[in-house]
Amino acid sequence: MKIAVLVKEVPDAAVEKRLDPASKRIDRSGEKNLNPFDTHALEAAVQLKEGGAPVEEIVAVTMGPDSSVRTLHKAVSLGANRSIQLTDDALAGSDVNATGYALAKVLESEAPDLVLLGQQSDDGENYTIGAVVADHLQFPSLTQVVDLKLEGNTLTMKRQAEYGYDTVEVDLPAVISVGDALNEPRYPSLKDIMGAKKKPLDTKSAADVGIDAGQVGEAGSKTEVLAINPPPAKEAGELIEDADADVDATVARIVSFLEERKLI
Amino acid sequence: MAGIIVYVLGKDGEFNKNSLGAISKAAQLAGEIGGEASAVVVGESFDDAKLAELGKYGAAKVYKVTGPEGVAQPVVDAIEKIATENDIKYALFGGGLLGFEIGAGLTARLNWGVTAEATGIRAEGGKLIVERPVLQDSAIVDVAYKGDGGVIVSRLNAFEPNDSIGAAGEVVDTPVEFKEHSLRAKLVARGVQEGADVNIEDADVIIAGGRGLGEAANFSLADDLAASLGGTVAATRAVVDAGWFPYAGQIGQTGKTVAPKLYLALGISGAIQHKVGMQASENIVAINKDPNAPIFEFSDLGVVGDLHSIAPKLTEAIKAKKGA
Complex prediction ipTM: 0.91
- Cα(A170)–Cα(A192) distance, integer angstroms: 33
- Cα(A198)–Cα(B298) distance, integer angstroms: 46
Predicted pLDDT at B1: 60
- Cα(B277)–Cα(B311) distance, integer angstroms: 23
Residue A151 touches partner B, C-beta closer than 8 Å: no
Nearest to B138 by CA among A239, A226, A18, A227: A18
Q: What is the mean pLDDT of residues A172-189?
A: 94
Q: How many CA atoms lie within 13 A of A164 on its CB side?
A: 14
Helix (H, G, I), strand (E, B) or coil at A33: strand
Helices and strands counted in chain A (H then E): 7, 13
Residue A136 touches partner B, C-beta closer than 8 Å: yes
pLDDT tens column, B219-245:
999 999 999 999 999 999 999 988 999
Nearest to A176 by CA among A120, A131, A122: A131
Nearest to B179 by CA among A128, A116, A134: A134
Residue A95 touches partner B, C-beta closer than 8 Å: yes
Residue A118 touches partner B, C-beta closer than 8 Å: no
pLDDT tens column, B278-306:
998 999 999 999 999 999 999 999 999 99
Residue B185 touches partner A, C-beta closer than 8 Å: yes
Whether B105 sits inside 8 A of A95 (CB atoms) is no
From the number of C-beta atoms within 10 Å of its C-beta (0-12, 13-18, 19+), residue A232 rates as: exposed
User: Whole-number mean pLDDT of chain B?
Assistant: 94
SS3 string of chain B?
Answer: CCEEEEECCEECCEECHHHHHHHHHHHHHHHHHCCCEEEEEECCCCCHHHHHHHHHHCCCEEEEECCCCCCCHHHHHHHHHHHHHCCEEEEEECCCHHHHHHHHHHHHHHCCEEEEEECEEEEECCEEEEEEEECCCCEEEEEEECCCCEEEEECCCCCCCCCCCCCCCEEEECCCCCCCHHHCEEEEEEEECCCCCCCCCCCCEEEEECHHHCCHHHHHHHHHHHHHHCCEEEECHHHHHCCCCCHHHEECCCCECCCCCEEEEECCCCCHHHHCCCCCCCEEEEEECCCCCHHHHHCCEEEECCHHHHHHHHHHHHHHHHHC
Nearest-by-Cβ selection for A240 from B107, B146, B304? B304
Residue B123 touches partner A, C-beta closer than 8 Å: no
- Which is more confidently placed, B78 or A164? B78
Predicted pLDDT at A125: 65
Predicted pLDDT at B136: 79
Check: CB of residue B83 under 8 Å from CB of residue B10: no
Whether A222 sits inside 8 A of B146 (CB atoms) is yes
Predicted pLDDT at B188: 95
Whether B185 sits inside 8 A of A140 (CB atoms) is yes
Whether A168 sits inside 8 A of B185 (CB atoms) is yes
pLDDT tens column, B59-72:
999 999 999 999 99
Which of A12-16, B154-158, B200-204 is least confident? Answer: A12-16
Whether A224 sits inside 8 A of B188 (CB atoms) is no
Q: Is the pLDDT of residue A25 over 90?
A: no
Q: Indicate which of B141, B179, B261, B279 best probes the interface with A, i.e. most A CBs within 10 Å of its own CB.
A: B141
Strand partners, B39: B6, B62
The size of the A-B interface in CB pairs under 8 A is 298
H-helix or E-strand spanning residue A136: helix A129-137
Cβ contacts of residue B272 below 8 Å, gap of 6+?
A125, B117, B133, B136, B137, B155, B253, B294
Q: How confident is the model at residue A224 (pLDDT cuts 50, 70, 90)?
A: very high
pLDDT tens column, A107-120:
999 999 999 999 98
| Nearest-CA distance B129 → chain A (Å) | 9
